Chains A and B, each alone.
Chain A
Amino acid sequence: MKLRFSTTSPYVRKVSVTAIELGLDGRIERVATNTMDPKSDHGADNPLGKVPALITDDGERLYDSPVICEYLDSLAEGPKLFPPAGAERWRALRRQALADGILDAAILRMLETRRRPEALRWDGWVRLQSGKIAKALDQLEREADGLDGPLTIGEIAVGCALGYLDFRFAEDGWRATRPQLAAWYDGFAKRPSMQQTVPREPA
């Protein structure tokens, strides 16, 4: 398998953490890809120009992190990160969607404050995205005691979302009013899969 990646994408991190947790990391060849580079050849593998993109051994191209993670889960033996059915499945997928929603808002905020020409930046947009992030974090704080069960894609996504907030928006101080979520993340971030995938700016 071949994975298009960048070292800062939190969606890529979800895939990497998933691969490590499943013991599949060694089967994945990595291709560094800068999606903002107009000369990137990435469009051939993903017309949407996003990472992560996984090219399977069968030549199938998979484009978004929930699909890639579920595909990896289908290749591995052992406990499933995507529970096959029932309340556990919806709990895991719901949590992943909440965490991915935090990431979507955080990425929009990052694009606004880093990539957009300065004169065209708009505080209203930053406030809108920050509000979504805060409300979703409050929701996670309320359900933090549920994060300690068997590992699923939900917790992996939450861990990667919180890690991204620390990476890009440490000044928000998300822990201040969310002690239970902070305590959970403190433990979760020590997993080898999280330690090996800490985001960093490209050299």
Chain B
Amino acid sequence: MKLRYSPTSPYVRKVAVAALETGLDGRIERIETDVWNPETDIAEDNPLGKVPALVTDEGMVLCDSPTICDYLDSLHDGPRLVPAEGPGRWQVLNLHALANGIMDAAVARVVEVRARPEDKRFDGWLQRQTLKIGRALDALESRAAAGGLDGPVTLGTITLGCALGYLDLRFSEDAWRDGRPALAAWYEAFSQRPSMQATVPPG
């Protein structure tokens, strides 16, 4: 398999952590890709111009992180990152959606500042994204305090770990841990996992 990646994308990190947790890391060849470079050839593999994109051994291109993780989960015999059925499946996918939504809002904030001319930035947009992140973190704090993040590693907790890591990378000034002690304690432990340690984004 071939993985198009960038070193800072939280969606790529999710895939990388999932590959490590499922023992598939050694089967993945990595191709660093800068989607913001005007000369990029990413569209040859992913017309949407995004990383991660996984080219399978059969030549199929999977171009979003949930599908890539679902695919990786089908290739190993260990405990599933997403339970195949039952209430557990929806709980995991729901946590994934919430954490992925934090990534989406955080990336939207980064893009607003990095990709646009300075005089075209819109504070209202930044505030809207920041509000979403704050509300999602509050919901996760309640869940963490109730023990809802404990248990075996899943695609949900992996995505949450990568989302919080991305907030530390890009928005450490937001101080997301303030007022969210249970979530902070959960992340403190989760980020010690070898899969998380091996994928810390370059600062």
Contact = CB atoms under 8 A, between A and B. Distances in A.
Given A116-B122, A120-B122, A138-B47, A67 B139 contact: no
Contacts of A98: 47-48, 63
Contact of B87 (A43, A47, A60, A61): A60
Contact of B63 (A101, A117, A120): A101
Interface of A is mostly: helix
Contacts, number: 111
Interface in B79-107: 85, 87, 90-91, 93-94, 96-98, 100-101, 105
Q: How large is the interface on B (under 10, 10 to 19, 20 to 34, 35 or more residues)?
A: 35 or more
A90 B116 contact: no
B138 A60 contact: no
A74 interface: yes
Given A48-B98, A85-B74, A90 B67 contact: yes
Contacts of B119: 120
A63 B98 contact: yes
B49 A66 contact: no
A195 interface: no
A116 B101 CA distance: 21
Given A49-B132, A62-B97, A97 B87 contact: no
A85 to B, nearest CB: 7
Contacts of A21: none
Contacts of B124: 117
Contacts of B138: 47
B93 A50 contact: no
A48 B47 contact: no
A191 interface: no
A186 B115 CA distance: 37
B120 A120 contact: yes
B90 A62 contact: yes
A129 to B, nearest CB: 10
B62 A90 contact: yes
B117 A122 contact: yes
A94 B67 contact: yes
A64 interface: yes
B90 A71 contact: yes
A85 B122 CA distance: 44
A97 B49 contact: no
Nearest to A136: B47
B71 A90 contact: yes
24 contacts: A47-B132, A47-B139, A48-B98, A48-B101, A50-B101, A62-B93, A63-B101, A64-B100, A93-B67, A98-B63, A100-B64, A101-B48, A101-B63, A104-B48, A117-B124, A120-B120, A122-B116, A124-B116, A132-B47, A132-B49, A135-B43, A135-B47, A138-B47, A139-B47
Given A67-B94, A117-B124, 4 more contacts: A50-B101, A90-B67, A93-B67, A122-B120
Interface of B: 43, 47-50, 56, 58, 60-64, 66-67, 70-71, 74, 85, 87, 90-91, 93-94, 96-98, 100-101, 105, 115-117, 119-122, 124-125, 131-132, 135-136, 138-139
Ordered nearest first, which 10 A-B pairs have the shortest CB separation? Answer: A135-B47, A47-B135, A101-B48, A48-B101, A97-B64, A122-B120, A63-B97, A47-B136, A136-B47, A47-B139
